[in-house]
Structure 1
Amino acid sequence: MIGLYPAVLKLEGRCCLVVGGGSVAARKTISLLECGAQVRLVSPELTEELQREVQKGKITHIKRIFEKVDLDGVYLVICATDNTELNSQIAEYCEALHIPVNVVDNPELSSFFVPSMIKRGPLCISITTGGNSPLFARRLREELEKLIGPEYAELVVSLGQVRRLIREQVDDPARRRKFLEEILPPGTLADFDEEKMEVLRKQVKACISSLLE
């Protein structure tokens, strides 16, 4: 099997189409909204959760069965219906129009996969099996979630602040790397706990102070 090319998409302000109105469509829709996407939802019926989002004005709901015109201006498509024939037709349309499409539970019809994700603030860890076993990806995510706590979000935010200051204050790329390596040397995240987090907090503060002097 040819390998997949992993990528992270910027969806803020982009129109994304979800076809389907059940629980899976709801989960996919909420994920898109969290990314700032403009969601167009096509389905005759919706779950209560989706109805609430529509009432809030966060979703454009087209209350009918999918039509090809629904693809106009769309950046990507997630197909979450239980109609095999419709799913196949949508995938065919998307292929012809060069629109990325994910048909839930059908990797053969999909041009991209939605990974299982762990989110800690701006930190996002994606796990995919290339469509082979979404269940395995979920189980692995569940185990990793036990190891990666909320302190990782704090650390990423702090390192982002330091990195921006370094880019502003230090012109030499080698010195930039040296600053960051001193804060986060190899092995830092092994057996990461609150004690190590406190050490990193102090290192980050010291680095910021030295840059602002």
Structure 2
Amino acid sequence: MEKYEFYGESFLSYPVFLNIKDLPCLVVGGGRVGLRKTLGLVDAGARVRVIEPRPSENLLEMEKNGQVQIKAAEFVPEDLGGMRLVFAATQKAEVNALVAQEAGKLGIWCNIADDPSGSDFFLPALVKRGDLMLAISTGGKSPALARKLRMDLEKIFDAAYLPFLELMGRLREILLAEGHDPEGHRDLFRSLVEGPLLEYIRMEDMETVALLLEPIAGADAMALAVSVIKEHPARKSPEKGECFPEKEGS
């Protein structure tokens, strides 16, 4: 748990990943920042409503695809009805403050863009590789440092981590299906994680990958390697392996 200070005041933050799948979330403001918030919510599976008097083509396209609902009007407190999370992302400080104030009355968590001290929560810089997520926070003190750290981590945790993590998950599923406790194979999993498996995945050396998987996957090792590495969705949709460009502290 980290202790942050804003303008001489300090508070304790509690890092957490929220499951917001199918939950109603509101974004007030559809500019660059609002769009970024909207994309993140959609990526997390939320039901997103955007309040923006002049929605951009990007937002309109998202609405056309059924990803968001847009209200092309100014914010009114009634827009908060039934919402679980709110993002105040307009370019008007007074509107953002009103959104936060009204959300507070209803007990709804609100994030104010570029104002972590006035927010109920703020977002870290994030590197996302499928189910692998690495969050970075400087407590809002240096978004520039958070951005640099994110870029450094992007180079270390490349797209190969998507099939790598998928393989780890599949191996656990095999053990559970056979009635084994994955914890009883801790040393084997440690050797896979700490050994050369990741590098062989990068090289797409299927024979060696299959050999390393055989102690658990048995005769299905090669089929498993091919299905996860050669046929992984990230190969067809590279953007799935891209980092999520959230601005830390926002």
**Structure 1 residues 39 and 208, CA gap change in structure 2 (3 angstroms):** same
Query: Deviations 1:29-77 (Å, cap 9, x if unpaired)?
Result: 1111111111110111122211211222321111111111111111101
| Aligned equivalents of 2:42, 2:182: Cα separation in 1 | 37
**Structure 1 residues 204 and 79, CA gap change in structure 2 (3 angstroms):** farther
Query: Deviations 1:97-141 (Å, cap 9, x if unpaired)?
Result: 221211110011111111211122221211122222222211211
| Aligned equivalents of 1:195, 1:75: Cα separation in 2 | 40
Q: Which amino acid aligns with 2:178?
A: Q
1:149 aligns to 2:158 (yes or no): yes
Pairing partner for 1:50 from 56, 59, 80: 59
Paired position in structure 2 for 1:112: 121
Paired position in structure 2 for 1:102: 111
**Kept after mapping to 1: 8 A contact 2:132/2:165:** yes
Query: Deviations 1:162-195 (Å, cap 9, x if unpaired)?
Result: 112222324446514344234334xx48xx6447
Whose RCO is larger (CA < 8 A, sep 6+)? 2
SS in 2 for 1:142: helix
| Aligned equivalents of 1:56, 1:173: Cα separation in 2 | 41
| Aligned equivalents of 1:30, 1:137: Cα separation in 2 | 20
| Aligned equivalents of 2:172, 2:84: Cα separation in 1 | 32
Q: Which amino acid aligns with 1:138?
A: R
Structure 2 gap segments, 5+ residues each: 5-10, 222-250
| Aligned equivalents of 1:62, 1:196: Cα separation in 2 | 45
| Aligned equivalents of 1:175, 1:206: Cα separation in 2 | 13
Pairing partner for 2:178 from 165, 169, 175: 169
**Alignment RMSD (CA, Å):** 2.5
**Structure 1 residues 93 and 69, CA gap change in structure 2 (3 angstroms):** same
Paired position in structure 2 for 1:81: 90
Give the TM-score normalised by the residue count of structure 1. Answer: 0.86
SS in 2 for 1:184: helix
Structure 1 gap segments, 5+ residues each: none
Number of equivalent positions: 208
1:7 aligns to 2:33 (yes or no): no
